[in-house]
Structure 1
Amino acid sequence: MWTDLLLQAAIILVTLFMFLFIHSIPQKLFSKLLLLRRRSNHQTKRHFVIGAQLLSQARSSSDRSIADRAVAEADRAISLDPKDAAAHILKALALELLGFKTSALDSLDAALSPLAVKSLSDGERGDALFKRAELRVAVGGGAVVEDLVESVRLKGDNATVCWGSVMRRKG
């Protein structure tokens, strides 16, 4: 009796899967999911670009509200894709411009976390490590030397900049 029921259930499931594949339903669902993902990526990039433009304007202006808007755009990009390190770095740069060095350091830590760091090239990671070292010096944090050494290893042209920064701090 049970074997008959199991056999009938198996036949119904096989028939159902055959029907779905004949009518390309799984492919249609998969393509819709990809389309939703692409829209999300598009929105993330849009917020990032707007935030980068606002950050550029804020650097050439004394208006703090522009930098605040850059932080808000970076937050929107992060909410859509928290694994994108670029949005975290944008937020850190805007927060540093506003004078919130500790918060900027936290944002750079998020960008260099194992979850997000995969989205950065070696050169970008070197630049982010150098910026994090600068912020750590400004707030009196530790592990500055490790960040600078790793930054130079990843991006050799940071060696001159690192040496200049060290000499300025001493002098």
Structure 2
Amino acid sequence: MPAWICSYVRFVEALNRRLGKIAMYLLYVIMAIMLYSSITKIAHIPALWTLEMAQFTLVAYYMLGAPWTLQGDSNVRMDLFYARFSKKGQAWWDAFTVFALMFYLGIMVYSAFDSTVYAFEYGERNPSAWRPYMWPIKTIITAGFFLMFLQATVLLIRDIATIRGEEI
């Protein structure tokens, strides 16, 4: 593989690994928010923002962690026939299926970007008592889908290298 492709693969994987490791700690943020929510409810002064903030933090957790999960091959796979394939056979199958993933992620990036632009232009707010702006979480969702798309391209490159008998 050309050096620039190898550099691209290393860059995307390093970026997704770092963001995934940072996203892991968002679970502690969610726990702190829920603990604060429980304490304020026990004290009969419930906070309006805790449920939505925990939900938004959970969205950030899985959207920023998903590319790392994709990179680590930690996703669920129907392994009925796949395990019986040779390494090249698995690479062929993965290369075929990654196109479906890239199509899906391309649509999601486009839609999420459109929704994020709308949230910025109109100052969209969540229709709740707290009424937070929606652009921060929509930006994170768009970035998460974009990073998953980049990781899918890396998976395709790795599959092509395996089919060609090369290492990256």
TM-score, with structure 1 as normaliser: 0.27
Larger RCO of the pair (alpha carbons < 8 Å, separation 6+):
2
Higher helix proportion, which one?
1
Give me the TM-score of the superposition, normalised by structure 2.
0.28
